[in-house]
Amino acid sequence: MSEKTDLNISVSRDYIKGLEKKVSDLNTLIDVSAIISSTLDFNTLITLIMEKAKAVMNAEACSLLLYNRVTGKLEFEVALGENADTAEMLKKTITLDMGQGIAGWVAENRSPVLVEDVSKDSRFFKEADIKTGFITKSLLAVPLVGRGGLIGVAEVINPVGRAPFTEYDVEIFQTFCTQVSVAIENARFHKDALEKERLHQELELAAVVQKSFLPPEPSLIHEPFELSAVNIPAQKIGGDLYDFIELKDGHIGVLIGDVSGKGISAALYMAKVISDFRYIARIDISPDRVLNNLNAMLSRTSLSMFLTAIYMVINTVKEMAEFSIAGHPPIISIKKGVVDIINDPSGPPLGILPEFVYKKDDLSFDAGDRLFFVTDGVFDVTDCNGERLGFGRLSEFIKGHASSEDLMKDLLSFVEGYSVETSKTDDITMVEIRRR
Amino acid sequence: MKTDAMEIEVLSYRGIDVLKVYGDIDLYSSPGLRKNLISIICKKPGTLLVDLSNVSYIDSSGIATFVEGLKNMMCYGGRLKFIGLPDRIREIFSFSRLDKVFEIYDGIDQAI
C-alpha cells in the first residue's frame, strides 16, 4: 500500500507509522532528559523514569532492580504495574543472585535480553509471579551500567496494545537505560554529597562537645604554680586529652592522656576516660591508686582500646608532686637549666592488664622549675622525606632552648616547622607545669 | 602516609605460624593487619610469632590491633610473641611499656 504526495514520492503507510513512532520515541527520550534534570532526589527520580519507561514501551509493567555491592545481589527498587503493593512485596521478599533469573543473567553478562515467551526460557525465575499473582509473558531486560560499574537491571514486561517487543525496542530501551544510568549515578553522587555534608556538620558538633570535656581554659594559675596546655587535634575530633583538677588541701591534679586510635571511637573513649578520671580523682589523692582504679574501669570494657597517661598531683603548699606514668612518653624536666627525662616508674597503658599495679614517685619544685608532658603526636611528625622527628630530637631542642620564657610556643613552632610539608596525622598535646 | 605500603606474609616455622609484617602499621593499614591476625587466631594456635623486623613505624591503632589479638589468645591460653623489633619500634614499645604486655624476643629461635 502506498499513497502519492505532492512531491510525487511514494512512501508506505507503515514507513510513515514507523517514522512517527521513532519521532515519538525521540521525544520521550528528550522528556527523560528533562526529568533527569528536574530532580536529584533518588526515589522521586527513579519512579518518574520508570513510569516513563512503562509508557514509552507500551508495557503492562516494568521493574528496576538495583545491584547491592555489599551482598552482590539484585534487589527490587521499583515495580510498576496494576497493583501498587507489588513493589513493596517484591522489595521485601525477593532478591536475585548474579546469574539467577533473566535479570540475574543480564546483570552477569552485561547484555540485554529480549524474551518473547518466558515459559520457554529456562532462565525465567517464576517466584516473583507466584508471589505477586502477576503473569509475565514476554519481557525485555537491559543492564544499567555506569562509570562505577553495574548499577542494576531495568525490565519492561508484556507489551500492551502493540506488537511483541522487537530488536528496535531493545535499541530504544538501551538508549533510554543509558540515560537512566547517568541519572541514577548523579542522584547517588548527590545523595552521597548530602550525607557527607551531614556527617561534616555532625563532626563539627562532636568537636564542640568533645572540647567541652577539656578544661574551659587551657591554663590554671594556683600560686606559685602556673599550668598551661596546647591541644591540636589532627582531625575535627581527637583522642588526646588533658585535665587540670583542683583537689582538696591545695592539691592540683594534672592529667595528660592519649587514647589509642583516632576519630569518633577515640573521641567517645576519651569522653569515658575523662568522666571516669574526674570521678576517681575526687575520691583519692594518690596518683598510683587513681591510675589503678582507672585501669580497672577501662579494662572492664571488651574493647581493645587503651590509654597512655601521666597523672601528677601537685601539693602547692609543700611545693612537691607525686606522679604515675602509664605507657606515656616521659616527663621532660628543666631544673636550674638542666634538662632531665623522667620515665620511671611507668607501667603499661591503661585498659590492657586489669591486675597491673602502678607505682608512683615524687619530686620537689624550686623556683623556676618546669615540667613538660607531651603526647607522641608531638614527636611522631614527619618531614617531607618521611623521617620522623623522634623523642630524641625533641629533647635536644628543649635542651637548646631551656632558658626560653615561651618554650611551649617555641616547641610548637619547631614541630610545625619540621612537618610543614606533610599533613598532620596525629593529635598534638603539650602541658607545661611551671613553678614561678 | 604510606597507607598502602603495609604488606603481610604468613609463614610457618617448625610448625609455628609467623606473621611477617612489612611497612608502616597505622590507622589506615591496621584494619588489614587485624583481618589477617584474627583469621589466624580463629584457628587457636598455641603460639603466634609476629615478625616486625621490616616495620618502620607503628601507631596506637596498630598496637591496639595487637592488644586485641593478645586478649583473644589469652582467652584460650595462646601466646603472642614479637620478634625482630627495629630500634624505632623498640623505642615505641619501651615508651609504652608494652614489654610488660607483650612477649618480645630478639630472634625466632629465642622465641620458640
pLDDT digits (tens, 9 = 90+) for A201-232: 988 888 888 889 999 999 999 999 999 999 99
pLDDT the model gives residue A5: 52
A85-120 pLDDT, tens digit per residue, is 776 777 778 899 999 999 999 999 999 999 999 999
- Please indicate whether, in this complex, the C-beta atoms of B95 and A330 are within 8 angstroms of each other: yes
Residue A151 lies in a domain: yes
Q: Indicate whether A269 and A397 sit together in one domain.
A: yes
Which residues of B are less than 8 Å from A343 in CB distance? 95
Q: Indicate whether A258 and A293 sit together in one domain.
A: yes
A358-410 pLDDT, tens digit per residue, is 999 999 999 999 999 999 999 989 999 888 899 999 999 999 999 999 999 99
Q: Indicate whether A383 and A280 sit together in one domain.
A: yes
Closest CA of chain B from A401, distance in Å? 24
- Please indicate whether, in this complex, the C-beta atoms of A304 and B100 are within 8 angstroms of each other: no
Residue A60 belongs to domain with CATH number: 3.30.450.40
Which residues of A are less than 8 Å from B68 in CB distance? 304
Q: Indicate whether A187 and A255 sit together in one domain.
A: no
Residue A246 lies in a domain: yes
Task: Say whether residue B14 is in contact with chain A using an 8 A CB cutoff.
Answer: no
Residue A412 belongs to domain with CATH number: 3.60.40.10
Domain end point (choices A138, A165, A193): A193
Cell of A391: 623523642
Task: Say whether residue A425 is in contact with chain B using an 8 A CB cutoff.
Answer: yes
Closest partner residue to A305 among B2, B64, B91, by Cβ?
A: B64
What number is the ipTM of this complex?
0.88
Q: Indicate whether A181 and A223 sit together in one domain.
A: no
Please give the Cα distance from A219 to A199 (Å, whole number): 32
Closest partner residue to A348 among B57, B60, B100, by Cβ?
A: B100
**pLDDT at residue A348 is higher than 80:** yes
A404-431 pLDDT, tens digit per residue, is 999 999 999 999 999 988 887 789 999 9
In the stretch 58-87 of chain B, residues with CB closer than 8 A to chain A read 59-61, 63-65, 67-68, 71
Kindly identify which residue of chain B lies nearest to residue A258, measuring between CA atoms: B60
Residue of B41, B65, B96, B98 to mutate, testing the A interface (most A Cβ within 10 Å of its Cβ):
B96
Return left, alpha or beta for A110; rule: phi > 0 is left, psi -120 to 50 is alpha, else beta.
Answer: left
Measured over the CA atoms of residue A168, residue A174, residue A180 and residue A186, the dihedral's sign is negative
Q: Indicate whether A125 and A269 sit together in one domain.
A: no
**pLDDT at residue A246 is higher than 90:** yes
Residue A38 lies in a domain: yes
Cell of A162: 502493540
Closest CA of chain B from A364, distance in Å? 24
- Please indicate whether, in this complex, the C-beta atoms of A304 and B67 are within 8 angstroms of each other: yes
Residue A269 lies in a domain: yes
Q: Indicate whether A226 and A150 sit together in one domain.
A: no
Q: Indicate whether A187 and A221 sit together in one domain.
A: no
Domain end point (choices A193, A222, A244): A193
Kindly identify which residue of chain A lies nearest to residue B71, measuring between CA atoms: A304
Closest partner residue to B61 among A261, A352, A356, by Cβ?
A: A261
Closest CA of chain B from A90, distance in Å? 36
Question: Which amino acid makes up residue A121?
Answer: D
**pLDDT at residue B2 is higher than 50:** no
β partners of residue A372:
A332, A432
| Residues recorded for chain B | 112
Q: Indicate whether A220 and A182 sit together in one domain.
A: no
pLDDT the model gives residue B16: 94
Of A350, A399, A374, nearest in space to A229 by CA: A374
Q: Indicate whether A245 and A183 sit together in one domain.
A: no
Residue A318 lies in a domain: yes
Where do the domains of chain B lie, and which CATH numbers do they carry?
Answer: 3-111 (3.30.750.24)
Task: Say whether residue A353 is in contact with chain B using an 8 A CB cutoff.
Answer: yes
Q: Indicate whether A260 and A122 sit together in one domain.
A: no
Residue of B26, B73, B97, B104 to mutate, testing the A interface (most A Cβ within 10 Å of its Cβ):
B97
pLDDT the model gives residue A8: 62
The boundaries of the domain holding residue A379 are: 213-435
Residue A5 lies in a domain: no
A159-188 pLDDT, tens digit per residue, is 988 888 999 889 888 988 888 888 888 888
Residue of B24, B95, B98, B99 to mutate, testing the A interface (most A Cβ within 10 Å of its Cβ):
B95
Residue A138 lies in a domain: yes
Residue A387 lies in a domain: yes
Closest CA of chain A from B66, distance in Å? 9
Closest partner residue to B97 among A346, A388, A425, by Cβ?
A: A346
Mean pLDDT of A266-282: 93
What's the structural domain count of chain A?
A: 2
Q: Indicate whether A188 and A58 sit together in one domain.
A: yes
pLDDT the model gives residue A421: 82
